[in-house]
Structure 1
Amino acid sequence: MFRSQYDCKLDPKGRLVLPAKIKAAIPEANGTTLMLRMAEDRCLALYPMVEYKKLENKIKALSIHNPEQRLLQRSFFNSVVDVELDSTGRLLIPKVYQAYAGLEKEVVVVGNGGRIEFWSQENYSKNIIVDPADLSGLMEKHLI
């Protein structure tokens, strides 16, 4: 389970060091390969292999004969790339992915359950509830 928010930096080559707590939460059985996806709200989603496989299986189960489902499959698989975590906990974010998410030097790394999200600070601030009262209201609406 990934959680919390971290302020990180991209180096000039586009490499990002995962925070130690995030790296420690990646299952050891995962190995060094992670899956990076262009995700909702112009963020990037990083998945350990076990979480990615759950999502991939759902996408693969869609019907190739249904135009909307076929479009979803094509678009999903086109938006995913595998990335390698090196021995220092760094991964290289491809330039096209950096551009999609508007990532420059400063990157907000957010644990979101089964995935890790990478955000530009500006975009992240538009996609988060800041006021705890507003969060409580939504929790009451959707969880109770």
Structure 2
Amino acid sequence: MGQTGTEIEDEARGASSLEGTPTAGPTRLCGRYTNGIDTKSRVVMPAAFRTSFAAEGGLLTPWKNICLAAMAPPEFDVYRTHVARRLADQDEPDIEGILRTLWSSTVDFKLDVQGRLVLPEEIRSQVGITNEVRFQGYGRRIELWPGLVTSDELDDRTDHLATLAVVQATYIPELES
């Protein structure tokens, strides 16, 4: 299940998922880091991402059945409202049930003084995270993936970098406004 062109354009512009709703919190979470999970199910959040979650913590939720998404509470609220509105727009008959599933599959987290968060086995197992976590910034959220990069992912990354190279060749900052 991919994103629509409009969703991709919104993310490219850094726009809110809801028209006229400013997003709170970080807008430029980027980078990729891998850390191990200890015997108490704790993992160190990369220092580059910690400030976004230091004060209020965050929420972890399964994302597109392929990874986990970590969002600051205000961003999660925007996301939850977006989900509810999209479901209503599609005349979904069980909006309440779907939102109940969203909430019940989401966990709160707080960082400890060493920048660690607990990553419960129940939520990790949904996306195949075992003993290592790959943190990837993605705009206003962080995606948590299994630490091991598959050959398919490497092939995709190579293709994506080639596509970016073509697009980057057309970028002339003086012409952008």
TM (norm. structure 2) is 0.65
Distance 2:167 2:65 in 1: 19
Secondary structure (helix, strand or coil) at the match of 1:96 reads: helix
Aligned-residue Cα RMSD (Å) equals: 2.7
| Runs of 5+ consecutive residues of structure 1 not aligned to the other structure | 140-144
Structure 1's consecutive aligned runs of 4 or more residues displaced over 6 angstroms after TM superposition are none
1:136 is displaced (CA, Å) by 4.9
1:133 pairs, out of 158, 162, 166, with 162
Provide the residue aligned with 2:112 in structure 1: 86
Equivalent residue number for residue 44 of structure 1: 68
| 2:49 aligned with 1:33 | no
Q: Percent identity?
A: 27
1:16-31 aligned at under 5 Å gives the runs: 16-24=43-51, 26=52, 31=55
Structure whose residues are more often helix by fraction: 1
Structure 1 position 122, deviation (Å):
4.2
Q: Which has the higher strand share?
A: 1
* Paired residue total: 136
Alignment of 1:1-144 (within 5 A): 1-24=28-51, 26=52, 31-61=55-85, 62-63=87-88, 66-67=92-93, 69-122=95-148, 126=152, 129-131=156-158, 132-136=161-165
Contact 1:8–1:17 under 8 Å retained in 2: yes
Following TM superposition, by how much is the alpha carbon of 1:77 offset from its aligned partner in structure 2, in angstroms? 1.9
TM-score (norm 1): 0.78
